[in-house]
Structure 1
Amino acid sequence: MSNSNVETVTSSTDRIKLGLAVLVIVAGIVAYSMLEGQPTALRVGIFVGSLVLAAIIAWFSEPGRRTLSFGRDSYNEVKRVVWPTRKETTQMTGIVFAFVVVMGILLWVVDKALEWVIYGLLLGWK
């Protein structure tokens, strides 16, 4: 069996698994809607159970394993991030607000200048 044929079989199998996972989620949504008279905890439990079951089904596919690996790598990367201190965050927020105010004033001045040029000088309206 050639390598491309194996990839096709795996790909088809993965599509079936992912399709089944989507169907399980849809079934959970339908069950949530159909059980309208039942307690909310039961309805939510069935829906969350469908999400968990769909996640388990998807995990057994290659895209699911890649997604899990990506999540694990992302979590490890986040642990390495150096977060700003409270003082740095406050200072940067102040700078952003000041910039927004200055840009707002600048755009207002430009707008009024264009209004004066267009309506006052070109059209002769006062």
Structure 2
Amino acid sequence: MADKLKFALAVLLLVAGIAGFYLLVEQAMILRVLAVLAGAALAVVVAWQTEPGRQFFGFAKDATTEAKKVVWPSRKETIQTTGLVFAFVVVMAVFLWLTDKGLEWVLYDLVLGWRQS
């Protein structure tokens, strides 16, 4: 029950920060943005105190650790793969165009005889 109240408070703080952005319409933009950031920061601090919040931040930390383990492709590999995908798309476009025109010729000229001059 306490976690639900804390989470509701976190949502309320976030909404208050966003509302502050609109209520401070007469103020400088930096103050309006700081109101949103302060509301978001306070919401994160309160959410961190809940069990689901701790689980989420643990998951986010683990996801970051796993993302650092990924071996990203080099620039050369990326360009080669992109070139292959582009070539495949062009080949498929030509194939589908030829198939469409072939079916059009068979149906309209041979079967139905609509295009005979």
For normalisation by structure 1, the TM-score amounts to: 0.82
Partner of 1:36: 25
Which secondary structure does the structure 2 equivalent of 1:23 belong to?
A: helix
Is 1:22 the counterpart of 2:6? The answer is no
Which secondary structure does the structure 2 equivalent of 1:73 belong to?
A: helix
Structure 1 residue 108: Cα displacement: 1.6
Percent of pairs with identical residues: 51
Partner of 2:105: 116
Structure 1 residue 114: Cα displacement: 3.1
Q: Distance in 1 between matches of 2:46 and 2:112?
A: 69
Q: Can you give the 5+ residue segments of structure 1 that lack an aligned partner in the other structure?
A: 1-11
Q: 1:25 to 1:120 in 2, by over 3 A?
A: farther
Question: How many pairs were matched up?
Answer: 115
Partner of 1:8: none
Which AA in structure 1 matches 2:38?
G
Structure 1 residue 121: Cα displacement: 4.3
Q: 1:115 to 1:41 in 2, by over 3 A?
A: same
Q: 1:116 to 1:72 in 2, by over 3 A?
A: same
Note the alpha carbon deviations across 1:12-71, whole angstroms, 9 max, x for none: 222211111111111111111111121000000000110110011111111110111111
Return 78-87 or 59-68, whichever deviates more.
Answer: 78-87
Partner of 1:62: 51
Structure 1 residue 85: Cα displacement: 1.3
Q: 1:122 to 1:22 in 2, by over 3 A?
A: farther
Q: Distance in 2 between matches of 1:25 and 1:118?
A: 62
Let me know the Cα RMSD of the aligned residues. Answer: 1.5
Note the alpha carbon deviations across 1:91-122, whole angstroms, 9 max, x for none: 11111111111111122222223333444445
